[in-house]
Chains A and B, each alone.
Chain A
């Protein structure tokens, strides 16, 4: 099977978030960047497992500047066969989805994998947008996938239960936790990743319909009010009269 995995670069989970240029841009100073965990741990690894089971190739695709190459090389070290970087800043979900679809549209991929969301903007828009541009079926937030012949059976949590779905290839899938187990790149994988192709292609023109114009930090949390563990009536009283939540 010919598989495509779309990966993003995000700030590390524990990064301190700050902004610059009058709070109009993210401040990358001192921030460690990683591959978006949903893309790396679940989408990429499940695609590699599928390739190992049925044969084929796995390509990783990133929309971003050359500073993303280290993260893309990590995708190759984990096991992807080759990589593509679309050379542009990922300015919006709309922009990224359009670029991915334009690249993928005439390549005949059997499945396109990506994480259910990135851990920075948490938007969850790109996967379904790519599916629509390519007119493909889509399963979002998949936690389990079995493949038999040309059909995949998938499980995912929905509000109030677990849903089991089936779909024929080709399709787009967004990955949630448990779709696969994280893989640590081996030394051999890291060595080999340096020789694998990373092709840089230009972005296609797109009128971006949406942009972030301002960032804000939430108001500082007021000091925690400590309650005597022997006086739970006081806690109930505060929740009723002060917080007004019960």
Chain B
């Protein structure tokens, strides 16, 4: 049995949770077993997880959660269902509970995996290490295994039909970390889930020029990001900062505009499938990591690209 913890911030199943279910379903098939998704709290349309491959969907009711009681519930459910592998998403939540679940289950834990395990000689699973500069293959030898899946690492697939949600008799203990407030970012596509990302650096010269980037992002339907100096100077909010000390993302397309490509920035984006670099300096190090490069003044090039995208979409 494979158990997938499908996280649902504010009751909504995000794309990363659906990806984890697809991953778990494919792993179950490879191991010749079944898979179940576990949801906690009031979750909108939890039965839809059946479409992404869950044979069963369980729910634990409760409205006050922190990483301690979620982890305990996930581990208890894994023991009750005799789950060999627990799968979750490599998100803020995943990073808060994976070690806890593994400690409770005496399980080997591998985080941020990017592919299904190789089962030919035990259980060997691959993940990026050294900020994307290499991969490591981890062999897990414990009876229980706990994996977290990197966002955008595998394509979503419809593998079945919606199923009825069943409750499971696992208690949710009281939680000790109190959530005082959540300041939601206005609109837009959340960066970790985005397939297309347009990102800007110091080359924009100031926040007043950001509309040039926003227009391109809107034409593409892309999320927006920025380099560290841009966030440090408060031109853009901190949650847009990608790089070693910010978010690590792996979109299908990353367009870097006016970003030189310091190694700390590359560490957050070098797993992107396709990288486009627009920079006026032909010696910018980012070109070495790019698939497509444009040497030119961003104030001229980007509006032209926006027009070309609009023409293509029309």
B68 at the interface (CB under 8 A from A): yes
B257 at the interface (CB under 8 A from A): no
A107 at the interface (CB under 8 A from B): no
Partner-contacting stretch, out of A58-66, A154-162, A191-199? A154-162
Which 10 residue pairs spanning A and B have beta carbons closest together?
A129-B99, A229-B296, A210-B108, A209-B108, A209-B142, A128-B99, A132-B100, A132-B103, A232-B308, A137-B176
Partner among B110, B180, B192, B292 whose Cβ is within 8 Å of the Cβ of A159: B192
A157 to B190, CA, bound (A): 12
Spell out A's residues near B (CB within 8 Å).
11, 13-14, 17, 19, 37, 92-94, 97, 116-117, 119-133, 137-141, 143, 153, 156-168, 171, 176-178, 209-218, 221-222, 224-227, 229-230, 232-233, 235-240, 243, 245-246
Partner-contacting stretch, out of B34-42, B56-64, B154-162, B237-245? B237-245
Known: A131-B100, A232-B305. A178 touches B108 (CB 8 A): no
Q: Are B111 and A157 in contact (CB under 8 A)?
A: no
Partner-contacting stretch, out of B44-52, B164-172, B203-211, B282-290? B282-290
Q: Are A140 and B95 in contact (CB under 8 A)?
A: yes
- The distance from the CB of A105 to the nearest CB of chain B, in whole angstroms, is 13
Partner among B136, B140, B289 whose Cβ is within 8 Å of the Cβ of A221: B289
Q: Are A246 and B288 in contact (CB under 8 A)?
A: no
Which residue of the partner chain B has the closest CB to A14?
Answer: B263
A246 to B220, CA, bound (A): 8
Q: Are A128 and B292 in contact (CB under 8 A)?
A: no
A235 to B130, CA, bound (A): 31
Q: Name 18 A/B residue pairs within 8 A (Cβ), A-sorted.
A: A129-B99, A131-B99, A132-B100, A161-B182, A161-B183, A162-B185, A164-B182, A166-B180, A212-B138, A216-B134, A216-B136, A218-B133, A218-B134, A221-B289, A224-B290, A227-B292, A243-B273, A245-B196
Partner among B111, B177, B287, B305 whose Cβ is within 8 Å of the Cβ of A224: B287
Partner among B134, B179, B192 whose Cβ is within 8 Å of the Cβ of A215: B134
With an 8 Å Cβ cutoff, the count of chain B residues facing the other chain is: 93
B244 to chain A: which residues have CB within 8 Å?
13, 119
Q: Are B96 and A217 in contact (CB under 8 A)?
A: no
- The distance from the CB of A68 to the nearest CB of chain B, in whole angstroms, is 19
A11 to B133, CA, bound (A): 12
Q: Are B176 and A235 in contact (CB under 8 A)?
A: no
Q: Are A239 and B292 in contact (CB under 8 A)?
A: yes
Partner among A137, A161, A232, A245 whose Cβ is within 8 Å of the Cβ of B66: A137
B11 at the interface (CB under 8 A from A): no
A171 to B67, CA, bound (A): 12
Q: Are A141 and B140 in contact (CB under 8 A)?
A: no
Which residue of the partner chain B has the closest CB to A162?
Answer: B183
Q: Are B131 and A232 in contact (CB under 8 A)?
A: no
Q: Are B307 and A232 in contact (CB under 8 A)?
A: yes
Which residue of the partner chain A has the closest CB to B136?
Answer: A212
A212 to chain B: which residues have CB within 8 Å?
136-139
- The distance from the CB of B92 to the nearest CB of chain A, in whole angstroms, is 5
Known: A13-B263, A159-B190, A209-B142. A97 touches B99 (CB 8 A): yes
Q: Are A245 and B273 in contact (CB under 8 A)?
A: yes
Q: Are A125 and B291 in contact (CB under 8 A)?
A: no
Q: Are B180 and A125 in contact (CB under 8 A)?
A: no
- The distance from the CB of B49 to the nearest CB of chain A, in whole angstroms, is 19
B301 to chain A: which residues have CB within 8 Å?
229, 232
- The distance from the CB of A211 to the nearest CB of chain B, in whole angstroms, is 6
A166 to B178, CA, bound (A): 5
Which residues of B239-279 have CB atoms within 8 Å of chain A's CB atoms?
A: 239, 244-246, 248, 252-253, 263-264, 267, 273-274, 276-277
Q: Are A226 and B295 in contact (CB under 8 A)?
A: yes
A116 to B244, CA, bound (A): 12
Partner among A122, A177, A227 whose Cβ is within 8 Å of the Cβ of B248: A122
A171 to B307, CA, bound (A): 53
A243 to B290, CA, bound (A): 12
A176 to chain B: which residues have CB within 8 Å?
245
A161 to B180, CA, bound (A): 13
A37 to chain B: which residues have CB within 8 Å?
245
A14 to B136, CA, bound (A): 19
Q: Are A125 and B102 in contact (CB under 8 A)?
A: yes
Q: Are B196 and A246 in contact (CB under 8 A)?
A: yes
Which residues of B206-241 have CB atoms within 8 Å of chain A's CB atoms?
A: 220, 238-239
